[in-house]
């Protein structure tokens, strides 16, 4: 979608525009990095931060998608090794 202002730097938006990449990054932290906890890609998913991009209306969806992708990644990695459960930690800015 086209926006009426630059979105460069709005990394939280990537959870909606390129979810496969964000989920891959989550899984790399869990599988390669050995993390048991991953933070959601939602640090700037607040109305104040998104006002810089005119995207305050997307705050709920940004938070939902960031958490959903992280939860899916944790569930998939945990299913492969149930003895080592993985958890999602929400990020708030």
Note the pLDDT tens digit of each residue in 65-77.
999 999 999 999 9
pTM for this model (two decimals): 0.91
Closest CA to 36 of 2, 69, 83, 1: 83
> Contact, 45 vs 59, CB < 8 A?
yes
d(CA 20, CA 58): 19
pLDDT (tens digit, 9 = 90+) per residue, 21-68? 999 999 999 999 999 999 999 999 999 999 999 999 999 999 999 999
DSSP letters, 20-62, are HHHHHHHHHHHHTS--SEEE-S-TT-SHHHHGGGT-GGGHHHH
């Amino acid at each position: 979608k086209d926006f009426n202002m630059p979105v460069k730097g709005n990394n939280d938006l990537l959870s909606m525009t390129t979810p496969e990449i964000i989920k891959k990054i989550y899984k790399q932290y869990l599988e390669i990095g050995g993390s048991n906890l991953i933070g959601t890609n939602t640090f700037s998913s607040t109305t104040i931060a998104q006002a810089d991009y005119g995207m305050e209306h997307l705050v709920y969806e940004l938070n939902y998608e960031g958490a959903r992708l992280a939860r899916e990644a944790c569930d998939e990695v945990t299913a492969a090794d149930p003895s080592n459960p993985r958890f999602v930690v929400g990020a708030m800015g």
